[in-house]
Amino acid sequence: MSLEAIVAAYAGLTAVAAIYILVVTVLNEAWLLHTGLIRGKKSGELASILIPARNEEARIRPCLDSLIAQDYENLEIIVYDDESTDETGEILDGYAEKYPRLVRVIHGKGLEEGWFGKPHAMQRLSEAASGAWLYFTDADTIHKPDSLGSAIGQAEFFKADLVSGYVRHTIGSFGEAQVLPSIYLLSMIAMPLWLVHLTKAPLISHAIGQTMLFRTAMYRRAGGYTAVKNKVSEDVRIARLVKKQGGKVLFVDLKDWISCRMYENYEGAIAGLSKNVYDYFNKNMFVLIAATIAVPLIFFVPIIGTVWVPGFLAAAQPHFRLSFMLCFYAWVVVTMGRMLPWYVPLIYPLILVNVLSTAWRAARIFSTGKAIPWKGRMVK
């Protein structure tokens, strides 16, 4: 086979891959739009809102204020002060004093051996909860009054044991925009979100720890966060455990009810992503190498080929251009659906580069026996 034929076939494959990416992205956005139409609940069984907080003095007030204002009638709020070194503990005690029947504070007294910080906080919270529903949410989230009721309504409508989803991720700087949209890559490339609740396969599971609503009985049957006590990607892994126990996992659109600014600059976003991406690859070097090879072949070469190819390879250029345009349109769909900055589709190569570089950064650090610092603790 001639070089021209090989390159033409390769260009055709990149176009096929781009068609797949666009189709998966569009179907996922359609699914998310559908889930946002489910009516919420205003009353029902007791729901425990559980918040892990470590050094969150700048963010905990808006989070708590939004949760205290929930219009779901039967709830309790428990916050775990995870050995904060700032004013978080004092702020929480003030809320508990002001709302004694609603807000309870647990002050952590050390991280048990073998545990990572967040799973430990989540497990301690669950042990203190009394609700039939466990609504875990991060301390940097801000909720509309019907966020809890909407999640319970979605769980009941789809008969789900775990509900998680995409909140609205607020991006305040160009540096954040180069990194944060990478959290949507899985649902653009590999994860058909509408299948998460339809199949029993644990690998077809997705969850984001910013908001996780469990039926308490299934949470305890799955082993709670004890079962993922030393995992960075504890959210996805506990979703898989729920499925292994016969439970149903649901991934929905939460952006109309919950917002969150995860990071404040490029450096913070890189640090946050580093601790998660390589762990999501299951710390498998083979998978990381394969992704490092595949990303340029699928995404970067077509960009170059769109602009220029040698004259004798001109037959491949239309396929490269089609591939590039379809990938660009997929990012447009994500940008519109997730309410990201308008320029995100123009910088998606930077996003991909940052994903790979953070994964390699984590692999390099972990290979030396070191760990990544996060909120005053070391994660590896």
Residues 364 and 256 both lie in one domain: no
Residues 70 and 133 both lie in one domain: yes
Helix (H, G, I), strand (E, B) or coil at 136: strand
Percent of the chain surpassing pLDDT 90: 78
* Number of domains present in the structure of the chain: 2
Q: Is the CB of residue 274 less than 8 Å from the CB of residue 380? A: no
Residues 81 and 176 both lie in one domain: yes
Question: In the structure encoding, which two tokens stand for residue 193, read together?
Answer: 């979100």
Tell me the pLDDT tens digit for each residue of 154-178.
999 999 999 999 999 999 999 999 9
Q: Give the Cα separation of 338 and 33 in Å (integer).
A: 11
Residues 179 and 306 both lie in one domain: no
Q: Which range of residues forms the domain containing residue 279?
A: 3-29+270-379
Residues 24 and 55 both lie in one domain: no
pTM above 0.85, yes or no: yes
Residues 207 and 152 both lie in one domain: yes
For residue 221, the tally of other CB atoms under 10 A from its CB is 16
Residues 226 and 331 both lie in one domain: no
Residue where one domain finishes, among candidates 229, 264, 299: 264
Strand-pair partners of 311 = none
Tell me the pLDDT tens digit for each residue of 24-79.
999 999 999 999 999 999 999 999 999 999 999 999 999 999 999 999 999 999 99
